[in-house]
Chains A and B, each alone.
Chain A
C-alpha cells in the first residue's frame, strides 16, 4: 500500500521548544517537499529536496530545518526561531509532474 505518511496528526508545543515532524514515503520518489498552510491560505513552500543528501530553501525557510539522509524520509524541524509556528504542515513527494501529499500535521504552539 504505497503512499506518504505524516506523524503525528496533531502536535502541541510550548514556546521555545523545537519539534520535529515526520514524513515518510514508499513511492520511490526522488523529490520531496514541505509546505505550510495557514487558515484560508494557500500552500507556502518551506523546503524541498530533489535528491538524497541535498535540499533547498523555499519561500519561508527561516526558523525551519530539514534533513534528507534517506530517500524515504524528509523530517522537518520547527525551531524556536520560528516566531509564528502554529499552522498546518503538509509533506509531498513528486513523480515527474504530479505531487502526492500526506495527510498533514497540525502544529499548535501553546
Chain B
C-alpha cells in the first residue's frame, strides 16, 4: 500500500522558475523524506524533515511539513535544466521499524 502520494504527477516549467510539488500521506509519521530520481537511475536522498519540524532548507530546496493536514511540499527555487527528474516522497509510519513507503512521484521537466 502506498502511504504518500505526490501531486502533481507531472510539472513542466521554464528555467529560473520555482517548482512546487506536494505529498500527502494517510497515517501519523516519524519523518518524511524527499528523493530525486534521474531517468533510469537509482534514487538520491535530498532532505529529511521530522514530524516535530515545520520547515527545512537545503540549498535551493525548501521543504515544509504540516502534520495536521498530513502533507508536505518541496519547493525548488530558481530551477535549472539539470533539476529535470522525478521526485518522490517517502514516509515511515509511527509505531514500528522504519520501513519507508514511497509515492508515485512527480515528474519535473525544466526547459532551458
Contact = CB atoms under 8 A, between A and B. Distances in A.
A65 interface: no
A1 interface: no
Interface residues of A, number: 24
B69 to A, nearest CB: 21
A34 interface: no
Contact of A42 (B42, B97, B104): B104
Interface in A45-104: 45, 48, 50, 59, 88, 90, 92, 94, 96-104
B44 interface: yes
Given A50-B97, A97-B31, A97-B48, A42 B102 contact: yes
Most B C-beta atoms less than 10 A away, residue of A4, A35, A42: A42
A100 B103 CA distance: 17
A92 B2 CA distance: 18
A99 B45 contact: yes
Contacts of B60: none
A41 interface: yes
Contacts of B41: 103-104
B88 interface: yes
Nearest to A50: B97
A106 B40 contact: yes
Given A42-B102, A42-B105, A98 B48 contact: yes
Interface of A: 4, 35, 40-43, 45, 48, 50, 59, 88, 90, 92, 94, 96-104, 106
22 contacts: A40-B104, A40-B107, A42-B102, A42-B104, A42-B105, A48-B99, A50-B97, A59-B1, A90-B42, A92-B42, A94-B98, A96-B98, A97-B31, A97-B33, A99-B45, A99-B100, A100-B45, A101-B42, A101-B44, A102-B42, A103-B41, A104-B41
